[in-house]
Amino acid sequence: MVSKSAAITVKADNTAPMDAYSTGTTTPTGIATPTGTTTPTGAATPKGTEVPHPGGTFIIRDRDSGRVITLMDGEIILEELGSKGSSYWECVEMKGWMGFKNPVSGRYLGHNRDQELQTTASNHRRWEQFCVRQHPGGGYTLFMRHWDDLWRVGRAQKENKLAKMGDQEGIQWDFIPVLV
């Protein structure tokens, strides 16, 4: 279940009300504690992340860059939150495998023959199967099925593109719940 304190309510135009962003609070001892994070550009980011689960809708954010997995002009890229693209992903499950469906296109996040991420499949099948594992450094590692193996999702050779990376290091992700 999505906790209202951990989720943000996002309007149809992919924007959130200003109270979804926070600079921090003060504890009873007077110590300021942050409730959110800032991106490398200094912009505030939504507070609260959650373990991805079927039935939830999420913004999937790269912990290092602050960019999010976005469907823009038919391609999957890492883009700033609030760009003109679609950055919501409905988490689904089939036969124990997670999948992420874009509610605007109705297509599933998957990969092509070059291992780059795409959204062309209307069904959740082998090329659209994911596994999410908590990362010891924070956030989660996103894996995709590659035959009988799991490959990490990371940056492709092309700028802002994503791909299955084999044994290479992937990206640490945050899953930000969205109330829709």
**What per-residue confidence (pLDDT) applies to 33?**
37
In tens, the pLDDT along 148-171 reads 889 999 988 777 889 878 777 889
**For 46, phi and psi rounded to 5 degrees?**
-60, 140
| Rounded Cα gap, residues 50 and 174, in angstroms | 8
Q: Is 96 left (phi over 0), alpha (psi -120 to 50) or beta?
A: left
> Confidence band (pLDDT; 50, 70, 90) for 47?
low
> How confident is the model over 6-36, as pLDDT tens digits?
444 544 444 444 344 333 444 444 444 344 4
> In the chain, what percentage of residues exceed pLDDT 70?
74
pLDDT at residue 77 is higher than 80: yes
CB within 8 Å of 151: residues ≥ 6 apart: 115, 143, 144, 145, 164, 165, 166, 167
Task: Using DSSP, state whether 13 is helix, strand or coil.
Answer: coil
Mean pLDDT highest for which of 8-17, 42-51, 106-115? 106-115
Parse the chain into domains and list their residue ranges. 51-179
Average pLDDT over residues 36-40: 41
The predicted model scores a pTM of 0.73
Q: Look at residue 160 in the predicted model and tell me its pLDDT.
A: 81
Q: Which CATH number does 51-179 carry?
A: 2.80.10.50
